[in-house]
């Protein structure tokens, strides 16, 4: 079984994507509260994997401490590469890049020095395919700590729903845990 977990709340005054923003104090508390569901390791988690972006790393480190397991970081499960927009203050974004939202991009249109929705989808699709294959060979269950956009893509794939950047099909709250079931 694979479990997905979104990182805790991060800085809402800056754009996310490939930013290096860490968790807010509230985000840390969200993750600690989520760890309560891991009490007695009822999910039999024996492996923790995480995106290598700061907010996911901090989340995984808290879970690691809770479960006493090491974390393997996987850059393939980073959020959308928003290039020049990563981590900039939202006020600056509104002035310099008005209307340049992920949902406004055409399928093959890239963020400045970033990736397109198509490239993001293909990266996550390939990473997920490989991850599922590797996870099947593991002893015990795996937890993957990642981002809302990545989880949306994975859940579309697993549900057999066409992914589009024009609509978020599966919303996930900060520090929410999703059980993907037996793989």
Distance CA 69, CA 157 (A): 28
Known catalytic membership, residue 147: no
Catalytic option among 9, 47, 58, 79: 79
| Burial degree of 26 (CB within 10 A; 0-12, 13-18, 19+) | middle
Distance CA 76, CA 17 (A): 13
Distance CA 57, CA 55 (A): 5
Going edge to edge, which strands form the sheet with 141-146?
71-73, 45-50, 141-146, 2-6, 177-179
* β-pair partners for 145: 5, 50
DSSP letter for 21, please.
Answer: -
Distance CA 103, CA 117 (A): 9
Distance CA 64, CA 138 (A): 18
**Catalytic positions, written as ranges:** 7, 79
């Amino acid at each position: 079984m694979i479990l997905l977990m979104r990182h805790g709340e991060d800085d809402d005054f800056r754009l996310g994507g490939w930013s290096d923003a860490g968790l807010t104090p509230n985000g840390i508390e969200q993750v600690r509260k989520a760890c309560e569901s891991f009490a007695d390791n009822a999910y039999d988690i024996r492996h923790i994997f995480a995106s290598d972006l700061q907010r996911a790393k901090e989340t995984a480190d808290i879970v690691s401490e809770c479960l006493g397991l090491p974390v393997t970081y996987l850059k393939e499960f980073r959020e959308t590469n928003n290039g020049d927009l990563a981590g900039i203050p939202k006020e600056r974004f509104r002035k310099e890049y008005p209307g340049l939202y992920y949902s406004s991009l055409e399928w093959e249109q890239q963020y400045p020095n970033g990736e397109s929705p198509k490239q993001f989808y293909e990266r996550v699709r390939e990473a997920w395919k490989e991850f599922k294959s590797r996870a099947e060979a593991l002893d015990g269950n795996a937890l993957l700590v990642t981002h809302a956009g990545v989880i949306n893509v994975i859940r579309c794939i697993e549900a057999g729903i066409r992914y589009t950047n024009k609509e978020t099909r599966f919303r996930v709250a900060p520090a929410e845990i999703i059980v993907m079931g037996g793989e």
